[in-house]
Structure 1
Amino acid sequence: MLELLAPTTGLRDAWLRARDDWGPGVHEDGFGIGPDDDVDSPEGFAAWVARLNDQGDPARPLPDGRVHATCRWIVEDGEVLGGIALRHELTGAAARLGHIGYGIRPSARGRGIATWALGAMLDEARALGLPRVLLVCRADNSASAKTIERNGGVLESSDRVLRYWIEL
């Protein structure tokens, strides 16, 4: 059964297997990894997980350029299949990246997992009171475009990136 779970150190080994599925040096959308995050050591991983979970707390101040975000891991039977993040506002880089970013590990693609996860995260966006959300994907990422469209995405503009709005 698929679940959206808050990041946890208890899934470190499963998360590392998911990261390894992408391959070294590949950016995994939806996980909120920054260039300075050390996810290989247990201590670094724990600090990263704490930062991800703190980011969702609107009472906590964030460093410049960051916005509050709800981060979730897509998990099935104890295996991390991907990640999805809901940015609570469209300021700074979030205005370019959109409200929601997600990624599914290569070995889990083609099963409808992203469509399911996006639908579940839209429920979280509704709970935050957002009237609509912006999603952005590369123009050559037809799988992501289809995922967004299956969840009601309406294309606003296209160039090298596709910008979709979903009314909530």
Structure 2
Amino acid sequence: MTIALARPSLSLFDSWSETVAEFGDAHIDGAGLERGQAHDRGACAALIEKAELYADGDATLPEGHVACDYFWITDDGEVVGFIAFRRELNDWLRSYGGHIGYSVRPSRRRQGIAGAALRLVLDRAREQGYDRVMLTCDDANVGSFRTIEGAGGELEAVIDGSAADIPQLRQYWISL
């Protein structure tokens, strides 16, 4: 297994499309997609354009959005998941989202992929001068909170997400 981070690219379209299809109608954390969004070539091209815009620190983003680096998690050139590094926290992200969101293709879970990708993004955050980053996960998502804790995450709080129409969340900080 060779886990790497790739910027969104049409050269990985087939693999990206298969991965998005495997999630079905579920929300895909870190992918930059809306729930149930199409996974055709046009949707991929639009996502690439979005990723380029959000990566530009000088870009004007939609209200409530922050600069973000979107990556596709690859294993030997195959897209196996998604991870996003949000470079700042707005009010919603400070409560519910955090700096980093990620998802691994259902058929590739429990293989250490999320942990490997998270370490790569944490290295990038450290190189960019961040002292610590925040992550959240559903309180019931044992795999995710074990991944975060394995990367040094310290539980800050358990948050009732009902006000935002989301499940109860675990909020972690990772010191870099």
- The farther-off stretch of 152-161 and 103-112 is 152-161
Letter of the 1:67 partner, please give it: V
CA separation in 2, counterparts of 1:75 and 1:146? 21
CA distance in 2, matches of 1:152, 1:36: 32
* Alpha-carbon shift at residue 37 of structure 1 (Å): 5.8
Matched residue type, 2:79: V
* Contact 1:67–1:91 (Cα < 8 Å) also in 2: yes
The alignment of Structure 1 onto Structure 2 pairs a total of residues equal to 166
* Structure 2 alignment gaps of length 5 or more: 160-167
Give TM-score, length-normalised by structure 1: 0.92
Q: Secondary structure of the equivalent of 1:93?
A: helix
- Cα distance in 1 for residues equivalent to 2:125 and 2:61: 20
Q: Deviations over 1:65-84 (max 9, x none)?
A: 11000111111122110000
User: 1:110 is aligned with what amino acid?
Assistant: R
State yes or no: 1:72 paired with 2:71.
yes
Contact 1:66 1:92 (8 Å CA) reproduced: no
TM-score for both structures, normalised by structure 2: 0.88
Compute the RMSD of aligned alpha carbons.
1.6
In the alignment, structure 1 residue 12 sits paired with structure 2 residue 20 = no
Aligned residue among 166, 171, 175 for 1:163: 171
Q: Distance in 2 between matches of 1:102 and 1:35?
A: 14
Match status 1:58 vs 2:41: no
Identity %: 40
- DSSP 3-state at the match of 1:62: coil
Q: Secondary structure at the match of 2:73?
A: strand
After TM superposition, the runs of 4+ consecutive aligned structure 1 residues lying more than 4 A away are: 35-38
Cα distance, 1:88–1:106 mapped onto 2, change above 3 Å: same
One-letter amino acid of the counterpart of residue 163, structure 1: Q
